[in-house]
Amino acid sequence: MDKIIVHGGRPLSGFVKISGSKNSALPILAATLLTRDQCIIHSVPDLSDIHYMLQILSHLGAQVERASGTVTIQAENVATVAPYEIVRKMRASVCVLGPLLGRHKEARVSLPGGCVIGDRPIDLHLKGFRALNAACRVEAGDVRVFADELRGSTVDLEGRQGPTVLGTGNVLMAATLAEGITVIEGAAAEPEVVDLANFLTKMGAKIEGAGTRRITVEGVKELHGAEHCVIPDRIEAGTFLVAAALAGTVVTLRRVCADHLKAVTNTLSDAGYKMDITRDTITLHGNGSPRPVHIVTEPYPGFPTDMQAQMCALLSRAPGESTVTETVFPQRFMHVSELKRMGADIALEGATARINGVPHLSGAPVMASDLRASAALVLAGLVAEATTEVNRVYHIDRGYESIDEKLAGLGAEIQRVKQGN
């Protein structure tokens, strides 16, 4: 398993180009199963999660070709069973259920396991499929969904922890080929759901309200091929903004959608950072330690849970007391114990991290656990004294395209050490 070694203290400056969004590309790639025609998707990031999704699509029988950031897919004749040995590697595989149900009226996918950020149920996905007249069965670790015909109806997908992003996408995809009108109440409003809806509309779907909590779909007989460019990754962008805040002099992010990052840029502004923001660039002026702030993660447009770990790393340096409360994945604090090994002063009280800023972090060997926690540890290493060694960086490779090379391009002293498995 590879590790990343960061020598702290190097100032960051310059430009970094943000890649296409992982969380937008995954459901959009799954949506190509809805048509037998060819689809062309641009700005697909080179990530292991994307690789797994393309493996699943190929296994299902789709023709898949990748040329740098462009993926060409044709799902002329596809099977309807996604096997455990591939699905177990990535829980987002669950988003092939909706398109297979829509296209073939049946699908069988192994149940996604939990993960370190908490239990990852799909009860709301199944609630949506049942509302479309599908039956759902759990059999031998798989979930099987099937219907004689899909009929539109109204369904509320809001759960105890708020809306479901992939659940909204799954039900939306199935509803495009259901008979009649489907209304999804309590829908997720994330930009990634809007990007998926835009792609489905290019395929001939009839969708209104994407980006609001109420999405209306008028089913059509079939969908055709389409070409689409995936939106920039707002979480990668936020991660680099925190890197600039921690270690920057002046860092400019290119190919961002600044509109998607308002909760993050507003929080960084509250923490005392000056930013020059245009439609597709953000320049942050790093100026030493942040002011303490209080963050509560919420569904979009609130502060994103996927930026929570990175902010804990930044606020570890904020003189005074900050708090970070996690409402989406209340257990998502695997990074805290590792940051404390680097000298951070953080106390966990239920789903709230109480952070007292310290003047210095010290480099240490640390263990990556989930995608965003791993990124947070690399960020902390940028300003920690001496050397930080982040192990198990396969977690990072799931969601960040060449993060070590991009940080090195900004002046960080960082290298990836390949290790036998």
**Residues labelled as active-site residues:** 115
- Annotate each residue in 68-107 with x if it binds ligand EPZ (CB under 6 A) or - if it does not, as one string: ------------------------x---------------
- 165: contact with ligand EPZ by CB under 6 A: yes
Give the integer Cα–Cα distance in Å for 57 and 330.
32
Q: Taking phi first (over 0 means left), then psi (-120 to 50 degrees means alpha), and beta for anything else, what does residue 137 get? A: beta
For ligand EPZ, the closer of residues 233 and 404 by Cβ is 233
Angle at 284 between CA 283 and CA 290, to 5 degrees: 170
Q: What are φ and ψ of residue 208, in 5° steps?
A: -130, 145
Of the residues 166, 207, 275, 353, which one makes contact with ligand EPZ according to CB under 6 A: 166
**By the 8 A CB rule, do 90 and 83 touch?**
no
Least distance (Å) from ligand EPZ to the CB of residue 162?
6
Tell which positions 12-41 bind ligand EPZ, by CB under 6 A.
Answer: 23, 26
Binders of ligand EPZ in range 305-334 (CB under 6 A): 305-306, 328-329
| Binding residue (CB under 6 A) for ligand EPZ from 9, 69, 83, 121 | 121
Choices 118-126, 206-214, 275-283, 355-363 (CB under 6 A): range interacting with ligand EPZ: 118-126
Taking the complex as a whole, the smallest distance from the CB of residue 96 to ligand EPZ amounts, in Å, to 12
The contact pattern for ligand EPZ, residues 168-207, with x = CB under 6 A and - = no contact, is --------------------x---x---------------
Task: Considering the complex, state which of residue 192 and residue 401 has its C-beta at the smaller distance from ligand EPZ.
Answer: 192
CB 121 to ligand EPZ: min, Å: 4
Q: How many residues bind ligand EPZ (CB under 6 A)?
A: 25
Among 131, 210, 371, 384, binds ligand EPZ (CB under 6 A): 371
Among the listed residues 15, 63, 65, 123, the single contact to ligand EPZ using CB under 6 A: 123
Residue closer to ligand EPZ (CB basis): 26 or 241: 26
CB of 249 to ligand EPZ, least distance (A): 28
In the complex, the residues that contact ligand EPZ under the rule CB under 6 A are 23, 26, 92, 120-125, 159, 161-162, 164-167, 188, 192, 305-306, 328-329, 371-372, 399
